Amino acid sequence: MTLSQRLRDIDWIDVWLWVFRVVIILGVVIGITRKLFFGAGTTYDSSDWIDFFISGLSQGGLYALIALGYTMVYGVLFMINFAHGEFFMSGAMASTYLIASTLAASGFINEQPILYLVLVTVAAVLTSMGVSLLTERIAYRPLRRAPRLVPLITAIGASFFWQYIFRGLFGSAVKAFPVPTILEGRVNVFGLDFLKVRLIVIIVSILALIGLYLFVQKTKTGKSIRAVAEDKDVAALMGIDVDRAIATTFAIGAMMAGIAAVLWGLVFKQVIFSMGFVPGIKAFTAAVLGGIGSIPGAALGGFFLGVIEAVGPPLILEGLGAPGAHQLKDVTAFLLLVLVLIFRPQGIIGERLAEKKA
């Protein structure tokens, strides 16, 4: 083969992708090296890094809870439920404005902090479920057999619809989420220093994830969801009510989003109508990271993304000498999403879905 023939046979797109990969890897390696061995940027001691890691872990727990909704719906319908971030937002907004602020004003919040959290969570979960079931019924169910991008477009529409409905209902201001005083401050567990809320988020999210996994694996309803995910028509022949199973899937995803909404309020102490969009996209990233369609994958992806997002900017970006690295936190998440989708669309641990099915 002559040189010109060889040149012609090269797939230039592969070359470009390789260049892309090499640049990214080089950037990461150089960044870490410069940070750790040459002390670029601010210097952090080991307790700072542990702090970054823990806050990343708790952030990751939130992403994991939201990611479940994406992954379960995708598993059943093969559709990206773009509006899922709004289910999360709706729970946070309604519970804060209607329940939490009232209970905080009456002093109930510090008399019965546990009952307070339970009531707020119930309100958030119910709102999220209601919004999600309405969306499913009106915007998705009639389009089950439509081309794939059609429900994606209605999902985008639903996302804006809910954002602005809640903006209209409760206003566009930032509202404080009341946190019981007992949850403020830090706590020391196993020699590690946690912010109390962060610890709670990590524990609750892990418990919720385990509970959900058991529900899907062990109960009859869970089985019907898995059957519908496998094959809707055969499931229908087996006597499973497909519409009901799909609605249940939406409701469970929304329930997790509602729990995440309260935890989010505890950590960030404020809610606003536009709060659902960015966590939604990041949770989707987490779902894809872990392999969309897989529940343990979504959990793993969530924690992974949270940690990367917390540790990445100070470690890599500051190492590369980028000013204002914390501003670029969102870029790390989106960049990770783009990279994963381009180079490993099946996710870190996800099984490879057949081309047509996925």
Partner 1 sequence: MNTINWRRVIQVGLIMGVVVLIASIIGMVQTFDERDMIAGLLTLGQLLLFAPAFYGGFSVAGKDERRAPVPTLLAGLLAGALAAVPVVLLVALAGFWTTIRDYFVNVSPQLIEILTFGRESVSGSLLLLGVMAGLGLLGAAIHLIPQRVRRPFINATMFTLVFSLFSDVPLNIANQFLSRDLVRLVFPSKGITVVAAVVIFALALAVALWWEFSGRARRQQQQATITPEARRRNSLIVMVVSLALLLVLPRILGIFLTNVVAQVGTFVLMALGLNIVVGFAGLLDLGYVAFFAVGAYVTALLTSTGDLGLGVNFWIAMPIGVIAAVLFGIVLGIPVLRLRGDYLAIVTLGFGEIIRVLVRSDLLKPVIGGAQGILDVGRPNFGSFTFVTPEHYYYLILAGCMLALFIAWRLRDGRAGRQWMAVREDEDVAEAVGINLVGTKLLAFAIGAGFAGLAGAIFGSRVGSVFPNSFELLISINVLAIIIVGGVGSLPGVVLGAFVLVGLPELLREFVEFRLLIYGILLIVMMLVRPEGLWPSAVRRRELHAAETDEPSVAAAEGPLHEEVQPLV
Residue 139 touches partner 1, criterion: CB under 8 A? yes
- Which residue, 6 or 356, has its beta carbon nearer to partner 1? 356
Residue 184 touches partner 1, criterion: CB under 8 A? no
Identify which of 201, 181, 185, 180 has the alpha carbon closest to the alpha carbon of residue 55.
Answer: 201
User: Exactly one of 26, 168, 181, 238 binds partner 1 (CB under 8 A); which one?
Assistant: 168
User: Exactly one of 53, 161, 213, 215 binds partner 1 (CB under 8 A); which one?
Assistant: 161
User: Exactly one of 133, 165, 187, 311 binds partner 1 (CB under 8 A); which one?
Assistant: 165
Residue 28 touches partner 1, criterion: CB under 8 A? no
In angstroms, the CA 120 to CA 126 distance is 10
Tokens of 144: 């089950």
For residue 186, the cross-strand partners are: 195
Residue 160 touches partner 1, criterion: CB under 8 A? yes
Among the candidate windows 30-38, 202-210, 262-270, 329-337, which touches partner 1 by CB under 8 A? Answer: 329-337
Name the 3-class secondary structure at 40: coil
Q: In whole angstroms, how close is the CB of 343 to partner 1 at the nearest point?
A: 9
Residue 138 touches partner 1, criterion: CB under 8 A? yes
User: Exactly one of 231, 244, 269, 344 binds partner 1 (CB under 8 A); which one?
Assistant: 231
Inter-CA distances, 130 with 80, 137, 227, Å? 19, 11, 24
Inter-CA distances, 227 with 74, 111, 210, 219, 330, Å? 14, 46, 20, 12, 37
With a CB cutoff of 8 Å and minimum separation 6, the contacts of 95 are 120, 121, 123, 124, 127, 258, 261, 262, 265
Identify which of 236, 234, 240, 250 has the alpha carbon closest to the alpha carbon of residue 220.
Answer: 240
- Which residue, 209 or 229, has its beta carbon nearer to partner 1? 229
In angstroms, the CA 154 to CA 145 distance is 14
Phi, psi angle pair for 41, to nearest 5°: 70, -160
Residue 3 touches partner 1, criterion: CB under 8 A? no
Name the 3-class secondary structure at 195: strand
- Which residue, 311 or 358, has its beta carbon nearer to partner 1? 358
Residue 20 touches partner 1, criterion: CB under 8 A? yes
Residue 134 touches partner 1, criterion: CB under 8 A? no
Residue 108 touches partner 1, criterion: CB under 8 A? no
Q: Which residues contribute to the site for partner 1 (CB under 8 A)?
A: 13, 16-17, 20, 77-80, 97-98, 101, 138-139, 142-154, 156-165, 167-171, 231-233, 281, 284-285, 288, 322-324, 327-328, 330-331, 334-335, 337-338, 341-342, 345, 356-358
